[in-house]
Amino acid sequence: MQTLKELTQTFGLSVVRGDFLLLEGKLYVTHSGLLRIAQRRKCSGIKTVILDRLSDPQLGRWVFRATVYKSPRSRGFVGYGDADPSNVSSLVHGAEMRVAETRAVNRALRKAYGIGLCSVEELGALPRRPEFPPEKQDRSPSSQVTCSGNGHPRLRDQLCLLIRKHQLDAALVKLYAAEFCGTTALRDASREKVESFITHLADWAARDRDALLCKLNSYTQPQEVSA
């Protein structure tokens, strides 16, 4: 909390705007938050270059070097970023080149402005929750959503990531998912239906989060909640 307070006061970042994310008790800065810092500090420019020697397009492996110039006379702050199918979420498979560039820019921005927090885009995947015996599992609505996905851990992690990244209400997402998949409960949906819902949710959250929140809030009405 002290770190969050200091960064908020120093750089004018906001949790509400999604400049920070709290995952598994650890605080991460986001790409949008870093860009806001650069804008407020009147960053002179950002240059990115693909490192051909280290990249392999056929394997989907990309390595970038990014240089951030804080002022026209700045010598630049350099950061490197890499991405391949093994260290990115399955949600962005096929976009490894863009992920690598974003990671490089994030590292360069963090160096330039003295941000000690890792950025969420640099994570290969969400930290996994420790496994507990069935009788000790959390039975709260939030836990049921993050552990859903028709029993497939990868789908569960994807849904968990979306909920946390976009700060959505887990219980409402569960209700929406069940309706979208045409089932009474999300656990009864097929893998294909769950995958389709995750893709739909990710696209809507990125395109118009406010509209998505309105949709989710509609499930707070008793007459719209399935028994």
What pLDDT, on the 0 to 100 scale, is given for residue 120? Answer: 87
CA distance from start to end of the chain: 39
How many residues comprise the chain? 227
Using pLDDT thresholds of 50, 70 and 90, give the confidence band for residue 224. Answer: very low
pLDDT tens per residue, range 185-199: 777 788 888 888 888
CB burial readout 120-147, b (16+ within 10 A) else e: bbbbeebeeeeeeeeeeeeeeeeebbbb
- Of residues 177 and 71, which shows the higher confidence score? 71
What pLDDT, on the 0 to 100 scale, is given for residue 144? Answer: 40
At residue 178's C-alpha, the angle toward residues 172 and 181, to 5°, is 135
- 35 pLDDT exceeds 60? yes
Give me the torsion for CA of 102, 163, 18, 109, rounded to 10°. -20
Q: How many Cβ atoms from other residues are within 10 Å of residue 62's Cβ?
A: 25
Using pLDDT thresholds of 50, 70 and 90, give the confidence band for residue 138. Answer: very low
User: Comparing C-alpha atoms, which of 86, 91, 61 is closest to residue 165?
Assistant: 91
What pLDDT, on the 0 to 100 scale, is given for residue 150? Answer: 43
- Of residues 54 and 5, which shows the higher confidence score? 54
What pLDDT, on the 0 to 100 scale, is given for residue 145? Answer: 43
Using pLDDT thresholds of 50, 70 and 90, give the confidence band for residue 109. Answer: very high
pLDDT tens per residue, range 141-158: 444 443 344 444 467 777
User: Comparing C-alpha atoms, which of 186, 159, 45 is closest to residue 112?
Assistant: 45
**Rounded to whole angstroms, how far apart are CA atoms 97 and 99?**
5
What pLDDT, on the 0 to 100 scale, is given for residue 137? Answer: 42
What pLDDT, on the 0 to 100 scale, is given for residue 75? Answer: 92
Q: What is the mean pLDDT of the chain?
A: 78
**Rounded to whole angstroms, how far apart are CA atoms 111 and 79?**
8
Give me the torsion for CA of 64, 70, 75, 78, rounded to 10°. -20
